[in-house]
Amino acid sequence: MNSTLKTGTTLLTLALGSAIAFAGSANIPATDDAMIFGTSGGSDTGNASGKGPAMFAGADGGSSRKRSLVTFDLGGFIPGGVTIDVVRMDLVLGIIAGSGMGGTGSNLPSRTIRVYHLNTAWSEGSSGSPTSPTIGGTGQGYTISTGDTSWHYTNYNGSTWTNLGGDFNSTEVANATFTTPFTVGQTCSWSSSGMVSDVQGWVSSPSSYHGWLIKSDLETTATSFLGWWTVDGAIANVNMNLQPILHVEWH
């Protein structure tokens, strides 16, 4: 009886151990993040922000448009052959349009931000280097440099987007609505079955991985942006808790 119990316990332990060893999760920091800039009419402003401290989605006071691009090093964290169960992207809020002079940004109390699958490879570039530890004054970007992505270029001054403002699927993979009171330092998160499907596809076929574009429903509405810290902004502040993170769970 003791022998049987011992054998059964051993088999159960081995089975549980196998299951635990096969399941996994990771918090993956962004490898590239950038902001691209369009005019109110949708033309290229000529600026870029590869090494800027933040990336925005929405419009500034002059109704100029801002979109963000981000990628994560999936291959360095997620093993091949697994099934993705959960995906969540976390960005730390660093600035809110309409929050000047201590306000809350309540001129637009509800802001919906959507995440789209990018179809074209792009490069972060070096505009904005050395990176400022503060976001104020960086929202118009910087003079475009070799290797930057922008509203027009995927890699300045060589390859370009087929469509101004980025090549992305028209249907979002995720969306989230954020409401006042907005607070600098709060975490904005997106999680969906679409993001799970995207990450699963990228793990299976890494060559198809170009990351996501982040876009606001209010990008033609003045003073509507939300802005989040980039990896370079986190480094400039010596605080890696500020960097974009992709949380992934699999079995």
Contact 18, 121 (CB under 8 A): no
The answer to whether 157 and 146 are in contact (CB under 8 A) is yes
More confident residue, 59 or 100: 59
Q: Provide the pLDDT for residue 136.
A: 92
Q: Above pLDDT 90, what percent of the chain?
A: 85
In whole angstroms, give the CA distance from residue 176 to residue 216: 10
Tell me the per-residue pLDDT of 74-132, one tens digit each, with 9 for 90 and over: 988 999 999 999 999 999 999 999 886 566 787 899 999 999 999 999 999 999 999 99
Q: Where are the alpha helices (DSSP H) in the chain?
A: 2-22, 193-204, 231-236
Please answer whether residues 192 and 173 qualify as being in contact, where contact means their C-beta atoms are separated by less than 8 angstroms: yes
Does 18 score more than 60 pLDDT?
no
pLDDT at residue 101, as a whole number: 52
Alpha-carbon gap, residue 170 to 178, rounded angstroms:
21
| Mean pLDDT, residues 38-49 | 97
| pLDDT tens per residue across span 200-246 | 999 999 999 999 999 999 999 999 999 999 999 999 999 999 999 99
Query: Does the structure show a pLDDT above 70 at 72?
Result: yes
Q: Phi and psi for 49 in degrees, rounded to 5? A: -155, 85
- Check residue 99 and give its pLDDT: 80
Tokens of 5: 């119990």
pLDDT averaged over every residue in the chain: 91
Domain ranges within the chain, ordered by starting residue: 23-250
Q: Are 121 and 111 in contact (CB under 8 A)?
A: no
Query: pTM of this prediction?
Result: 0.90
More confident residue, 15 or 38: 38
16, pLDDT greater than 70: no
Confidence at residue 1, expressed as pLDDT on a 0 to 100 scale: 43
